[in-house]
């Protein structure tokens, strides 16, 4: 966490820098308001501490210039006892808080943590509102008895901090269930951070999860906050946990046990309060037998197991889901009776994801409000009459969807079919929300 302190008192600057660095902060100091604004302009700071009375450029002028650059970064005034009226004036102008001289390190840390936490909460609430607008993103649509039991489990565990392991085939909706647990529980006002353990290169996954310090390795040009720290107070969703390498499994186990992380290049631990939800389409018990997955980590994750059945095992959900996606992608479209029968007869090897992709494609290609044809084969891409007016991005999304459908959700095979690298395919899946 990076702090900028602007104060013309050299001794106070030195003491505050040493104190804050002892608590793990990265601290930049300057005695001049003008240079403080330039430092802020050229770097990213999590909080600014600024004295009111300074020569050349005072605290009020510094605040005005910094607010032109960034309206969100917490700005805390340092003021002498008896000058609170000046501090209050600056608060009205956009400062977040003030601290009175003389102050001890406890008061300083409290002011910093309070204002950073408030800023983070404000940003997270904005994020939450955006997520909740996309209600389809988190709604678990199902009428089947098997999934009703999952919904009941979600209601029972949503306010717990116990780890959850969600299993099921690719495309059944594991992330949707994870979001239901988070957004309907008592952590809903904090972040939901999703990490696909299979899509991040092996050399970067540790940094991605736990963060790193500047200079920790080649290319580490600045401090980085990992996903666990970003999810603090909320939920981290570790998708495809079965693909996590053995050495990182040990580190994850330690995090689950100790409730703290250690960034690469740092010897200081950071306490975290994060609920962990993991998911996999792999058989972890088989991986344990093959010495590919740690048994102790499996037991740590599998406190609350949730298995989502395939769409083939809950055919009564097919039409409700199809209608749900139809409303999502269109306005006033409807399925003909023949198509409803066709939907229920299909095997759906790609599960809910395949159903969603096919409904979206049918809407895009239909000339009538009544959907009379669902299945456009992959060979259509080569047809000279293919509807290019849809645009390149829509065609690319359809190509990716069809490749995954043809390969029954196998990403490696789909990448080969599309003649692209697997990590490129994973990027496009994320980009198009497939």
**Residue 227 is part of a domain; what is its CATH number?**
3.40.50.300
Same domain, yes or no: 281 and 163: yes
From 291, 307, 323, give the residue that closes a domain.
Answer: 307
The tokens of 295 are what? 């048994």
388 DSSP assignment:
G
Same domain, yes or no: 122 and 196: no
How many domains does the chain divide into?
3
Which pLDDT score is estimated for 372?
81
Is the residue at 142 inside a domain?
no
- First-to-last C-alpha distance (Å) of the chain: 35
Same domain, yes or no: 185 and 303: yes
Contact 251, 206 (CB under 8 A): yes
Is the residue at 138 inside a domain?
no
Same domain, yes or no: 164 and 277: yes
Which residue, 359, 349, 357, is CA-closest to 319?
A: 359
Same domain, yes or no: 394 and 426: yes
Same domain, yes or no: 280 and 385: no
Instruction: Note the pLDDT tens digit of each residue in 33-69.
Output: 999 999 999 888 989 999 988 888 999 999 999 999 9
From 282, 307, 332, give the residue that closes a domain.
Answer: 307
Same domain, yes or no: 57 and 106: yes
Number of alpha carbons in the 13 Å side-chain half-sphere of residue 390: 21
Same domain, yes or no: 278 and 354: no
Which pLDDT score is estimated for 387?
56
- Domain span at 122: 2-127
Q: How far apart are CA 402 and CA 314, in angstroms?
A: 23
The tokens of 44 are what? 């990213």
Q: How far apart are CA 358 and CA 364, in angstroms?
A: 10
From 277, 307, 337, give the residue that closes a domain.
Answer: 307
- Is the model's pTM score more than 0.85? no
Q: What is the CATH number of the domain that holds 344?
A: 1.10.8.60
Which pLDDT score is estimated for 381?
44
Low-confidence ranges of the chain (pLDDT < 70): 81-83, 121-138, 375-392, 423-424, 427
Same domain, yes or no: 301 and 178: yes
Is the residue at 211 inside a domain?
yes
């Amino acid at each position: 966490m990076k702090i900028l302190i602007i104060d013309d008192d050299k001794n106070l600057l030195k003491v505050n820098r040493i104190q804050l660095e002892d608590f793990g902060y990265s601290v930049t100091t300057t005695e001049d308001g003008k240079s403080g604004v330039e430092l802020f302009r050229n770097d990213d700071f999590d909080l600014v501490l600024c004295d009111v009375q300074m020569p050349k450029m005072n605290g009020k002028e510094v605040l005005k210039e910094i607010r032109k650059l960034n309206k969100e970064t917490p700005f805390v005034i340092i003021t002498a006892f008896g000058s609170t009226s000046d501090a209050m004036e600056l608060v009205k102008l956009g400062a977040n808080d003030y601290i009175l001289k003389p102050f001890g390190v406890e008061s300083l840390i409290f002011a910093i943590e309070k204002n950073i936490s408030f800023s983070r909460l404000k940003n997270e609430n904005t994020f939450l509102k955006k997520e909740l607008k996309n209600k389809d993103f988190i709604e678990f649509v199902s009428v089947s008895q098997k999934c009703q039991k999952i919904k009941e489990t979600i209601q029972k565990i949503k306010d717990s901090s116990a780890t959850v392991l969600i299993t099921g085939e690719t495309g059944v909706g594991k992330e949707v269930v994870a979001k239901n647990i988070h957004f309907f529980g008592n952590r809903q006002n904090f972040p939901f951070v999703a990490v696909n353990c299979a899509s991040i290169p092996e050399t970067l996954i540790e940094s991605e999860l736990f963060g790193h310090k500047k200079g920790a390795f080649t290319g580490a040009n600045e401090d980085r906050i990992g996903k666990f720290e970003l999810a603090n107070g909320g939920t981290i969703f570790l998708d495809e946990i079965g693909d996590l390498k053995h050495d990182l499994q040990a580190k994850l186990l330690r995090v689950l046990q100790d409730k703290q992380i250690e960034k690469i290049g740092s010897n200081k631990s950071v306490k975290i309060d994060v609920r962990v939800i993991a998911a996999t389409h792999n058989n972890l018990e088989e991986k344990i037998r093959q010495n590919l997955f740690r048994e102790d980590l499996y037991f740590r994750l599998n406190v609350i197991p949730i298995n989502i059945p395939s769409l083939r095992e809950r055919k009564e959900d097919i039409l409700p889901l199809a209608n749900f996606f139809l409303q999502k992608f269109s306005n006033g479209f409807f399925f003909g009776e023949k198509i409803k029968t066709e939907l229920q007869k299909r095997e759906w090897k790609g599960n809910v994801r395949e159903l969603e992709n096919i409904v979206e494609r049918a809407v895009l290609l239909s000339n009538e409000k009544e959907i009379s044809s669902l299945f456009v084969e992959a060979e259509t891409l080569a047809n000279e009459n293919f509807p290019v007016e849809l645009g390149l991005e829509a065609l690319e999304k359809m190509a990716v969807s069809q490749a995954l459908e043809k390969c029954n959700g196998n990403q490696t095979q789909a990448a080969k079919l599309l003649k692209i690298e697997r990590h490129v395919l994973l990027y496009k899946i994320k980009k198009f929300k497939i």
